[in-house]
Amino acid sequence: MQPTSRSIVANGLRHHLLEWDGGGRSTVLCLHGFLDLAWAFHRIAPRLAQAGFHVIAPDLRGYGRSSPPRSYPPDFYHRDATDMGMLLKALASEPAHVLGWSDGAIITVILAVNHPELVRGVVIWGGQASNLEQERAAWDRLVDTRTWPPRALERFQEAQGPANWPGILERLHAGYSAILDAGGEIIARRLGEIRCPVLIIHGEDDPIVPVAHAHTMHAAIPQSELHLWPGVGHLPHREREAEFRALVLEFLARH
């Protein structure tokens, strides 16, 4: 199933999004990490649509075709969550399931805390609710493009376009560091306010977001389930694609 592509104005910004319309079941909003765009969900989204869900995957503010360039002020995660709340209000008549990976997982958690009326259920992977000092070294490696496979770097440059490249990785690093320098808090203190069902998936060998974050969130979120994968890194949706898809579909079917 091929998606349709369109733009919509929400929170005063034009967002580009992909849609896979499976018919009558509820909406699923998919939020990408910083290394990807809406197209990151091109493998799982058609399966969700085949199960009857209406799947929406936007390019987050400033990424791809959503009004670049991308910026990282100290509150950028909360700003993105506000954007997505306004987008859901414009697109969905009922609360949505929200799936988020990496940075998208952080935005998903903030959305569930700040706008519980918009969120029916949450699936997050590779996410966190605060920044830890031990993560600085991983960020340094992540933004060092000398370590990237040539094709991965080429695709990233193409996706971001001249408004974001070069410069986006340096801005990202500065944004992450600013949060950590201010104490690292993003939304951790408010995790107990989440009232919807939450599925937390994490690779035990994640080199970017330590697995300790998954345990912390699971302990703090009342209706949460934790699924850990030994030998898996930061991309369980690709490293264990079939199992990941089955896990998500089963969770959505229950809720």
Q: Of 202, 213, 234, 237, which is the active-site residue?
A: 234
> DSSP state, 67?
S
List the chain domain ranges: 4-249
Q: Of 67, 102, 130, 224, which is the active-site residue?
A: 102
Q: Is 206 a catalytic residue?
A: yes
How high is the pLDDT of residue 165?
Answer: 95
Closest to 102 (Cα-Cα) out of 142, 62, 69:
142
Reduced to 3 states, what is the DSSP secondary structure of residue 185? Answer: strand
CATH, range 4-249: 3.40.50.1820
Q: 73-118, pLDDT tens digit by residue?
A: 999 999 999 999 999 999 878 999 999 999 999 999 999 999 999 9
Closest to 102 (Cα-Cα) out of 242, 237, 227, 231:
237
Residue 5 has pLDDT above 80, yes or no: yes
Q: Is 32 a catalytic residue?
A: no
Q: Is 227 a catalytic residue?
A: no
Q: Binning pLDDT at 50, 70 and 90, where does residue 23 land?
A: confident
Half-sphere exposure of 144 (CA within 13 A, CB side): 8
Q: 157-172, pLDDT tens digit by residue?
A: 999 999 999 999 999 9
- pTM flag (> 0.85): yes
Kindly report the number of other CB atoms within 10 A of residue 181's CB atom: 10
Q: Which two tokens stand for residue 61?
A: 């503010």
How high is the pLDDT of residue 38?
Answer: 95
How high is the pLDDT of residue 1?
Answer: 82
How high is the pLDDT of residue 35?
Answer: 85
